[in-house]
Amino acid sequence: MSKEKKVIIIPCSGVGKSFGTVSRMAAYQVTEDDRPATTQLVPLALLVLGDEEARETVENNPVVVIDGCQLACAKKMVLESGGTVSKEMAVLDFYRQNRELKPQGISQLNEGGKKLASVIAAAVDLVVDELTEEGGKNG
C-alpha cells in the first residue's frame, strides 16, 4: 500500500441501538488509539448523503466495515458508493462468540458492551495489519 493510502473503517450508523454503539466504539478504538497512522474513519452518514470526498475515499482505499446487524447497511453503502469491501465484520457474530459480553445501553454502554467493542477492535487491528502489510509488499 502506498504511503498515502489508509484502511478505511466504516461502522454501523444504528443510532439508538446498542449494537450500533458497539460498532462505533470499536471503530473509534481502531482509528484513534490502536492504528491511527494507518486507518481513517468515514462516517456512514456521509456516504448516505452522497458526500463526494467520502465516496472518493472509499473508492480509492481498502475498506473494513463493522456492521451492527444482518441488514449490513455499511457494506451496502460502500458497494453503492463504488467501493470494495476488503473485510466485512458484524457485531452480532462477535457477540455470538462472546455471550458473556452482552451489550446494553446506547449513549452509555455497559461493561459487556465496552469489552465486546475491544474484542472487535482487536480483530479489526489484525485485518488492518494484514491489509497494510499486503499493500506494502505490493508497492
Partner 1 sequence: MTEYLETQVDKFTFKVEKDRFYTTFGVWALLYGGTARIGLSDYLQQTSGDIAFADIQPAGTVLGTGEACASIETIKVDLEILSPLAGKILRVNPSLEMTPEVINEDPYGQGWLCEIEPSDWENDLANLLAPEAYFEIMKNQAEEELKKK
Q: Name the strand (E) or helix (H) holding 124.
A: helix 111-137
Q: How far apart are CA 114 and CA 28, in angstroms?
A: 12
- 19 touches partner 1 (CB under 8 A): yes
Residue 87 bridge partners (DSSP): 64
For residues 78-101, one letter each, b for 16 or more C-beta atoms within 10 angstroms of the residue's C-beta and e for the rest, the string is beebebebbbebbbeebbeeeeeb
Q: Which x/- pattern, by CB under 8 A, does the window 33-72 give for partner 1? A: -----------------------------------xxx--
Answer for which of 5, 17, 76, 115 binds partner 1 (CB under 8 A) is: 17
Q: Which x/- pattern, by CB under 8 A, does the window 91-130 give for partner 1? A: -x--xx--x--x----------------------------
Block residue for cell numbers 448516505? 48
Contact residues for partner 1, defined by CB under 8 A: 17-19, 68-70, 92, 95-96, 99, 102
